[in-house]
Amino acid sequence: MSWALILGLAGGCYLFKIGGLFAARSRRASPWLDRYLGHLTPAVLAGLIVVQTFDGGGTLTIDAGASGLFVGAAAAWLRAPFALVLVLAAATTAGVRLL
């Protein structure tokens, strides 16, 4: 991949984002669509986290990353501060890998 292609794609993404900002000013989404899109982002992020944690090249893989994910999810469910959630998840993953 050449640098010209990378810079062209980056510029296109930037222009696409700016276009979205201008389009959002002229027209607003319905309250139903706005509420739906608000729930879509966390769902996609959760799906990405699950795939990155458990996908071992087409097979289900349960390793140290899964333990960190479970501890982080439990801490988030108990409404711990985000920094603490990250530290607990990372420490659990490191501890399991150390064992």
Measure Cα distances from 12 to 4, 5, 22, 64 in Å.
12, 10, 15, 38
Q: Give pairs for 86-95: CB < 8 Å, separation 24+.
A: 92/67, 92/68, 93/64, 93/65, 93/67, 93/68, 94/64
Q: 45 in helix, strand or coil?
A: helix
Taking the model in full, what pTM does it have?
0.62
pLDDT in tens, 47-84: 998 898 898 888 888 889 999 999 999 999 999 999 99
So what's the pLDDT on residue 20?
81
